[in-house]
């Protein structure tokens, strides 16, 4: 007890409010990290699909002695255009 003989009032409430503030900031940080993780996961998914498509065209070119048949190239482009992949610049203009 302090020298005056009275107990300090409200100290526990202040500690509670500060700890709740720290907890709220921590929860907001975790939410932000989860959002970033989901965005990066989605981006990695699209990159892997693009790599798969580029590899398929490279294999087609390699299998035909580096001169792919125009019909197969057109079919490959049509497949990309009709898919749900994000549209790339080359697919639209090549």
- Tell me: the pLDDT tens digits for 54-79? 888 888 888 888 777 788 888 878 87
Query: Given this model, what pLDDT does residue 90 score?
Result: 53
Helix (H, G, I), strand (E, B) or coil at 12: helix
Query: Given this model, what pLDDT does residue 82 score?
Result: 76
Helix (H, G, I), strand (E, B) or coil at 10: coil
- Exposed/middle/buried for residue 13 (C-beta within 10 Å: 0-12, 13-18, 19+): exposed
Domain region containing 33: 12-93
Average pLDDT, the chain: 80
Q: Is residue 1 part of a domain?
A: no
Percent of the chain predicted with pLDDT > 90: 23
Q: Is residue 16 part of a domain?
A: yes
Q: Is residue 3 part of a domain?
A: no
d(CA 70, CA 68): 6
d(CA 68, CA 73): 7
Domain tally for the chain? 1
Residue with tokens 């709220």: 24
Average pLDDT, integer, range 20-45? 94
Q: Is residue 6 part of a domain?
A: no
Both tokens of 91, joined, read: 């697919």
pTM: 0.53
Q: Is residue 70 part of a domain?
A: yes
């Amino acid at each position: 007890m302090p020298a005056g003989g009275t107990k300090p009032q409200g100290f526990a409430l202040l500690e509670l409010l500060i700890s709740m503030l720290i907890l709220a900031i921590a929860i907001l940080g975790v939410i932000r990290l989860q959002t970033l993780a989901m965005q990066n996961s989605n981006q990695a998914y699209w990159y892997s699909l693009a790599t798969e498509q580029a590899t398929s065209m490279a294999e087609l070119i390699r299998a035909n002695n580096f001169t792919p048949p125009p019909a197969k190239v057109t079919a490959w482009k049509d497949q990309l255009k009709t898919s749900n992949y994000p549209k790339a610049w080359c697919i639209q203009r090549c």
